[in-house]
A and B are shown apart, each in its own frame.
Chain A
């Protein structure tokens, strides 16, 4: 089969999708719905893994002071921290240093900090422990110090997110199998109807010497095209829905001074999903066509 013939067959496949527009639209709708639901789970996973990294990159234990403390009060806190026998070292991070680091971490998203300054942050201490086994007790002791607002211990958070990620992973996997099976079934039915509607034409093609692939390819292209359109629609909608909520959510988090957690920018998330979505869409479409052709097209 030469390039010219393949080009002709691709065109035929796309024209067929248009001719069969009601069923094609229904199939595109199913692929879109499946990938949209799957995409939401995937975005959750991307965010979990992103925030795991963010938390992991934080110091093991960090003690955050109240916002209004002056330098003398901060030093007092430091002294009291060092009085704890389990503390190996204690390093001060000023609000300005914390703000600059956060800005740097945000990268292309740093514009969400517009209008904010270092008063967003409080002074904090990065702590190294002698014995991590008794970290819970140490945290409790440190919380009792006057002027301490919060003590974070990243290992616990990392463990929690890892556990959560495992579950989301399992649910996503089951979901993708179920949703893609439904999509494949619907596309197979669409193609089956096309094959049935065009059975006379297929018969004529056979008599005048069309090869099996010449007859099959437009149907396969039709299936793949349906899958790909479903992918594009789902990515566009995911991008707009997630993009809007991501900006709002990140601003809310910032306003709540929860700057350890943030959502991945929409472009990054969608770009990460793109190759797999394209493969899934085209794969589901092609598989649907091949399944229905094998059963209903004896060429």
Chain B
């Protein structure tokens, strides 16, 4: 599903964000990617989404060899991945329904299919009654649930979430995690980059810890790790 093979990413300014990373995330896995700011977590996610290209090594995602893929192929890779961001990234001038439907429209989906699929995803995230609301009329938790519905609407086999609870209170954070867990239970591979120690520790999923660009730990049913607990950036 996702494989990093000897991946090194060095930016133009000389920063080595990831160094000789080797990791395999299989279909149906739920993996947390943890580490302090600047550790290489975001680069890890960006490499999966082909926002960055590795300096060395290969990245495989959903059968695509991402590292050598052309610009033209990138949209098709991204359609096979559901993405959720910390800042929700909803289209501000479209209502909830249209935000979710938009992800299907760009794939050229049939209107009938859109009318069937969008309400189903909104029901899954518990927002059926808010379909006609605009994003600015929703709470942060609700906006993130819309983003989650949008990420799921094309039935992706992989869902990538970059700090999905970073802007949410604990109650909404848990709701999002519960949904991610439910989505994973249905067979979707889920990769979550996060700072939330309490969530990682409570969920007991696979933990990939990155520090200074090096994968220092890859542990099934892992914890966040005591080594970061004194850092001020963690809650």
Contacts and interface: CB of A to CB of B under 8 A. Distances in A.
A295 interface: no
Interface string B133-151: 0000000000000000010
Contacts of B150: 208
Contacts of B110: 4
Contact of A209 (B79, B91, B93, B111): B79
Interface string A1-24: 110110010000000000100000
B176 interface: no
A203 B107 contact: no
Given A4-B108, A5-B105, A5-B108, A211 B91 contact: no
A201 interface: yes
A208 B49 contact: no
B106 A208 contact: yes
B18 interface: no
Nearest to B106: A210
A214 B78 CA distance: 14
Contacts of B102: 208
Interface residues of A, number: 19
Contact of B108 (A2, A203, A205, A212): A2
Nearest to A201: B91
Contacts of B83: 207-208
Contact of A208 (B71, B76, B78, B93): B78
Interface residues on B, range: 20 to 34
Contacts of B93: 19
Contacts of B75: 206, 209-212, 214
A211 B108 CA distance: 11
Contact of A207 (B71, B76, B89, B92): B89
A212 B73 CA distance: 10
B107 A209 contact: yes
B78 A207 contact: yes
Most buried by B among A2, A8, A207, A208: A208
14 contacts: A2-B108, A200-B89, A204-B89, A206-B75, A207-B89, A208-B79, A208-B103, A209-B77, A209-B79, A210-B75, A211-B72, A212-B75, A214-B75, A214-B106
Interface of A: 1-2, 4-5, 8, 19, 200-201, 203-212, 214
